[in-house]
């Protein structure tokens, strides 16, 4: 056993890189739940001694707990609790229906309204929750209009990923980046919300043009949508007021971080704790996506093994050697590689791998050099999820629900539009990154 540990120690980079590579393969294969793959990889990392399992003053730097980013974990759990409790009241569905009524049932306006609602909601709720909320509203509206929901569903997928790019809490990759780069909620708003708004307008306009022939209905049917009864959508008014107030204060807390310096995860934890006072904890906690949380834990351990072995530093040095230290080339490679790879593999493990690599580049080249690299990673990793139907969890959920409803969205059908939308989004992002940070 000692001989094995000595051999592994001498080849730690290769062994840890192999564990991460095999984990990627199985996560992309999707035959085994990704949480199982991450925990198996994390367990193997610890078993082989790539990270220490016991804490002591001598090995604190290699202690595996040090590599689990609890800022990310606590922020995710807290926001899941807040969103679940708020959703129970029906407040989000009520808001979507009110927006829908303002369109007077005109199909093109309905598509634009649902797309904007999805994008804005995805900036503050997680993408999966947003599409689960908007799906039944979409099916109901399309049934009244007697038109296919497919153009609406595809547009909502695109807008959920685009909208999630805009803020710190909109998409898990941004939470990872925010924690690794020490960016605040307002940093994301300042640097990404404007360009995300431009991308969203371009994409919605493009999709309305592409689907213009399918977005037609009779005046009688349009009248039905404008008269939707929304009086019973909110099932618990006191809960809606309570949850809405807490959610508002949490978002205000995020916004005020720059001068309050209260950590984002702590603001979310306080909000979740206040709401839990009025709930049965067992009923709420069972709704937390523990699969996602433990997926992150396992993943952080796997990547921690590669980081501790020196593999992440090696990757950083390789990238700098390829680009010959050019900030422009490094930024563009990260943006486009992130966008393309995130359409093929899960963007969470990809971002979790890239974040420490950029942190390593920052230590070598300085904060000013690395600053645009973080935003290139955020834009690429989040927007790349639009390329394929398996590019993000929200895509898969919409696809599965569409299939159950009798409106299947095939891989190739989605890809036809996904490539166009992703290339346009990344192209706009490349221009923005260059003009904003590199020019």
Closest CA to 380 of 347, 344, 419: 347
- CA dist 163 and 158 (Å) reads 9
Nearest-angstrom CA–CA distance, 395 and 386: 8
In sequence order, what are the residues at sequence separation of 6 or more whose Cβ sits closer than 8 angstroms to the Cβ of residue 186? 254, 255, 257, 258
Helix (H, G, I), strand (E, B) or coil at 63: strand
B/e letters for 127-164, b = 16+ CB within 10 Å, e = fewer, are: bbbbbbbbbebbbebbebbebebbbbbbbbbbbbbbbb
439: three-class secondary structure by DSSP: coil
Query: In angstroms, rounded to a whole number, what is the distance separating the alpha carbons of residues 109 and 46?
Result: 54
Predicted local confidence at residue 191, as pLDDT: 96
Q: What is the dihedral of CA 136, 142, 147, 153, to 10 degrees?
A: -50
- The first and second tokens of residue 184, run together, are 């605040």
Q: Could you tell me which residues come within 8 angstroms of residue 63 by beta carbon, excluding any fewer than 6 positions away? A: 51, 52, 54, 55, 56
Residue with tokens 């834990």: 297
- Alpha-carbon Rg for the chain, nearest whole angstrom, is 22
Give residues with Cβ within 8 angstroms of 32, minimum separation 6: 26
What pLDDT does residue 59 have?
Answer: 64
Length of the chain: 439
The three-state DSSP-derived secondary structure of 235-268 is CCHHHHHHHHHHHHHHHHHHHCHHHHCCCHHHHH
What is residue 118's predicted lDDT score, i.e. its pLDDT?
95
Q: How far is CA 386 from the centre of its chain?
A: 11
3-state helix, strand, coil in the chain (%, to 5): 80, 0, 20
Q: Do the Cβ atoms of 204 and 116 come closer than 8 Å?
A: yes
Residue-level pLDDT, tens digit, the chain, 439 residues: 566 667 777 788 899 999 999 998 888 787 888 889 999 999 999 999 888 888 766 666 678 888 888 998 999 899 989 989 998 999 988 988 898 889 989 999 999 999 999 999 999 988 888 888 899 999 989 999 999 999 999 999 999 999 999 999 988 899 999 999 999 999 999 999 999 999 999 999 999 999 999 999 888 999 988 888 888 899 999 999 999 999 999 999 999 988 888 999 999 999 999 999 999 999 999 988 898 899 889 999 999 998 888 888 998 999 999 999 999 999 999 999 999 988 887 788 889 999 999 999 999 999 999 999 999 999 999 999 899 887 887 888 898 889 888 998 888 889 999 999 999 999 999 999 999 999 8
E strand or H helix that includes residue 109: helix 107-124
Q: Which of 352, 303, 313, 300 is nearest to 19 (CA)?
A: 303
Of residues 70, 62, 27, the one with CA closest to residue 46: 62
**What pLDDT is stored for residue 53 in this prediction?**
84
Full-prediction pTM beyond 0.75? yes
Distance of alpha carbon 324 from alpha carbon 321, whole angstroms: 5
Question: Two tokens at 188?
Answer: 């994301």
CA-nearest of 138, 216, 203, 253 to 386 is 203
Backbone angles phi, psi at 140, to 5 degrees: -65, -45
Are 37 and 29 contacting, i.e. CB atoms less than 8 angstroms apart?
A: no
Question: Between the CA of residue 114 and those of 13, 120, 137, 307, 431, what are the distances in Å?
Answer: 48, 10, 9, 42, 28
Residues 213, 263: Cα–Cα separation, whole Å: 49
Query: Which residues, in sequence order, are bridge partners of residue 63?
Result: 52
Q: What is the dihedral of CA 117, 118, 123, 125, to 10 degrees?
A: 110
**How many whole angstroms separate alpha carbon 254 and alpha carbon 75?**
11
Reading phi first (left if > 0) and then psi (alpha if -120 to 50, else beta), residue 402 is in alpha
Task: Determine the pLDDT at residue 335.
Answer: 97
Structure tokens of 375?
């935003």
Give the position of tokens 């299939």. Answer: 403
């Amino acid at each position: 056993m000692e001989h094995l540990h000595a051999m592994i120690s001498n080849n730690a980079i290769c062994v840890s890189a192999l564990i991460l590579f095999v984990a990627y393969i199985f996560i992309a294969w999707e035959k085994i739940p990704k949480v199982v793959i991450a925990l198996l990889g994390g367990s193997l990392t610890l078993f082989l001694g790539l990270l220490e399992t016991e804490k002591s003053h001598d090995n604190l730097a290699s202690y595996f707990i040090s590599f689990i980013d609890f800022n990310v974990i606590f922020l995710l759990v807290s926001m899941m609790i807040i969103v679940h409790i708020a959703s129970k009241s029906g407040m989000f569905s009520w808001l979507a229906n009110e927006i829908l009524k303002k369109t007077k049932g005109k199909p093109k306006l309905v598509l634009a309204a649902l797309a904007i609602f999805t994008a804005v909601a995805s900036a503050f709720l997680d993408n999966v929750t947003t599409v689960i909320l908007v799906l039944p509203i979409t099916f109901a509206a399309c049934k009244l209009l007697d038109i296919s929901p497919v153009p609406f569903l595809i547009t909502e997928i695109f807008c959920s990923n685009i909208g999630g790019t805009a803020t710190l809490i909109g998409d898990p990759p941004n939470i990872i980046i925010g924690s690794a780069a020490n960016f605040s909620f307002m940093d994301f708003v300042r640097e990404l919300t404007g360009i995300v708004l431009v991308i969203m307008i371009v994409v919605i306009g493009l999709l309305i043009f592409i689907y213009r022939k399918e977005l037609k209905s009779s005046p009688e049917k349009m009248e039905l949508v404008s008269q939707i009864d929304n009086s019973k959508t909110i099932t618990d008014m006191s809960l809606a007021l309570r949850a809405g107030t807490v959610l508002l204060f949490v978002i205000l807390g995020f916004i005020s971080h720059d001068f309050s310096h209260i950590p984002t995860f702590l603001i979310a934890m306080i909000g979740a704790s206040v709401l839990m006072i009025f709930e049965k904890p067992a009923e709420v906690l069972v709704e937390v996506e523990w699969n996602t949380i433990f997926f992150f834990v396992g993943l952080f351990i796997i990547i921690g093994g590669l980081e501790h072995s020196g593999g992440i530093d090696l990757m950083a040095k390789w990238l700098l050697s390829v680009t010959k230290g050019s900030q422009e080339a490094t930024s563009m490679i990260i943006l486009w590689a992130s966008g393309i790879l995130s359409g093929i593999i899960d963007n969470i493990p990809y971002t979790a791998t890239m974040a420490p690599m950029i942190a390593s580049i920052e230590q070598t080249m300085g904060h000013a050099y690395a600053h645009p690299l973080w935003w290139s990673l955020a834009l690429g990793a989040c927007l790349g999820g639009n390329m394929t139907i398996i590019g993000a969890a929200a895509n898969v959920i919409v696809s599965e629900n569409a299939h159950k409803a009798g409106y299947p969205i095939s891989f190739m059908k989605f890809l036809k539009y996904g490539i166009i939308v992703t290339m346009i989004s990344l192209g706009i992002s490349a221009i923005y990154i260059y003009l904003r940070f590199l020019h």
